[in-house]
A = this chain, B = another copy of it.
Amino acid sequence: MDKITVAEARKAEAVGRHVRLQGWVRTRRDSKGGFSFIELNDGSCQGNVQIVAPGELANYEAVVKHLHTGASVVIDGEVKTSPAKGQATEILASHVELIGNADAEKYPLQKKGHTYEFLRTLAHLRPRTNTFGAIARLRHQVSMSIHQFFHEHGFYYIHTPIITASDCEGAGALFRVTTLDPDAPPKVAGKADFTKDFFGKQAYLTVSGQLQVESFACSLGKVYTFGPTFRAENSNTPRHLAEFWMVEPEMAFCDLNDNMDLAEAFLKRIIADALKYCAEDMKFFQERIDPDLLKRLDGVLNKPFKRVSYTEGIGLLLKAPQTWEFPVAWGSDLQSEHERYLAEEYFKCPVILYDYPRTLKPFYMKVNDDGKTVRAMDVLVPGVGEIIGGSQREERLDVLEQRMREQRLEPEAYSWYLDLRKYGTVPHSGFGLGLERCVLFLSGMANIRDVIPFPRTPGNAEY
C-alpha cells in the first residue's frame, strides 16, 4: 500500500489504487445510510479528498463517529470514482485510525468564518485554514519562481549580511543588535560604551542588501540577494512590517533599460508561474478574496509595460481632469493617488516611471546628463501602485562622492563601497521587490500581516 498525498488522491489517475492517506479532518458528516463522509486535508493542495467511512469499520461507532475538525487520522482505502459533482475521486476506507484528537469544545478553529484579526492571534494554527494554506503555498511558489528565474538567467544567489555596522543609505529607522546588559550597560563619558558590545561598535539589522551585493555584481557579473530586511518604523498600517523579505538583483554592465527589461520579465514570470502552479489556490483567491484578481493579473501578464519619464508623468498629472489630495509639481514625490491614476486610469497597464529628480532619491543612483534627474525607476501596477523600485547605480567615483556630501553622508564611512568605483568600475543596475507586497498583489489580500507566517509589527513579536 502506497502512501500518497491528498493532491494525488484527487486525480482520476489514482482510481483503483489501494493507498494510505495521512492528514487532518476538516469536517465529518454522518449519513443516514449508516456511514460517514470525512473531508480530509493534508496541506498538499487547497481541496480536500472525501473519505467514505462505512459503518462496518470495527471502530465506526467508537471512533469514526466522534472524529472532530482538526483531528489527525491515517486512512487506508481504495480510490474510487466519485459520483458527486466537483470531485473526480473519493476514498472508500478499509481502515480509519485516529492519531491525535482535537477537542471540539476547545479547538479554536472549530467554527467557520473567523476574522483575519482573530486568526492573527493564532498564527501557529491559521495555516490549517483554506485561506492561509493557500497563502503559504503561493508564497512558496513565488519564492521558487524568484530562485528559478534568476538561476536560469545566470545569476548567483548571494547571502548579504543581516547584522551590519554599515548604516546603509542612512535610510529608515534601524533596530540595534546588542549583547550589552540592558539594565547596566558599560559606560564611557556617560554614554553606552559600544566598544564593549559584541561587535565592538554599534550594529544594526539591515534595511537592504544592495550595497553589499553590488560588490559581488562587480566580480561575478549577475547576482541577487533574497533575505529578511528590517524597518523599525512605528507604522501600524496594513502595508508595513518591521520584518519582511526582499529580493534584490544586481547586474554589472547593465543600464536602466536593461534593468527595466529584467524587471518586466521577472514580474511576468512570477505571475505566470502562480497562475500555472497554484491554479487551485488562485481560483480560491478570485472566488473568495478579490473578484477582479485574475483579470488584473492577466492585464499585467499580457501587456507591455509602458515606460514614462517622471517629467512626462508630472505633465499628465497636471493635465488630469481631477483634483488631487496631494498637489502635483515637478520635484515632488508621487503619492499613491498619482501612481494609481497613471497605471489604472490613464495608461490602464503597468507603468515604469523613470528619471526622477535627484533630490528625491538616494546618493547611489546615477545622475543624468541634465544634472537634475537620476536614473531611478519605479514599476507601478494597477491595484497596488509601486511594486518594484530600482536604478542604474552611479559608477563615477567623483560624482558618487559629491552625491554623498550633498546628502550629508561621509564618504569615508563608505570607503569599501567607493573601492568598487576605484578599481575596474562598471555601469551596473538593480532593483528591489518586497516579497510580501508581491504576495498581496497576487492574492488580492488586503493586509500584509496575513501574507507572512509570523508578522512582526510594533508590539508584536510572539512565536
Contacts and interface: CB of A to CB of B under 8 A. Distances in A.
A8 to B, nearest CB: 10
A446 interface: no
B462 A165 contact: yes
Given A22-B253, A42-B221, A99-B425, A159 B461 contact: no
Interface string A127-167: 11000010011011001100100010010111111111110
A252 interface: yes
A243 B162 contact: yes
Interface stretch (A171-179, A301-309, A320-328, A339-347): A171-179
A265 interface: no
Contact of A103 (B44, B133, B422): B422
A395 B100 contact: yes
Contacts of A230: 162-163
Contact of A164 (B127, B160, B459, B463): B463
A176 B165 contact: no
A168 to B, nearest CB: 10
A71 interface: yes
A420 interface: yes
Given A178-B178, A458-B199, A212 B463 contact: yes
Contacts of A192: 182-183
B199 A461 contact: yes
A389 interface: no
State the number of copies, please.
2
Nearest to A151: B144
Interface stretch (A372-380, A400-408, A448-456): A448-456
Interface stretch (A11-19, A200-208, A350-358, A361-369): A200-208
A159 B216 contact: no
A242 interface: yes
A223 to B, nearest CB: 8
A227 B3 CA distance: 30
Given A72-B426, A144-B157, A175-B179, 20 more contacts: A22-B252, A44-B221, A72-B425, A99-B424, A99-B427, A102-B422, A124-B215, A125-B219, A144-B147, A159-B435, A159-B453, A160-B453, A161-B463, A162-B230, A164-B454, A176-B179, A182-B202, A198-B242, A199-B456, A212-B453
10 contacts: A99-B426, A99-B427, A125-B215, A128-B219, A161-B243, A177-B177, A199-B456, A200-B458, A215-B463, A227-B227
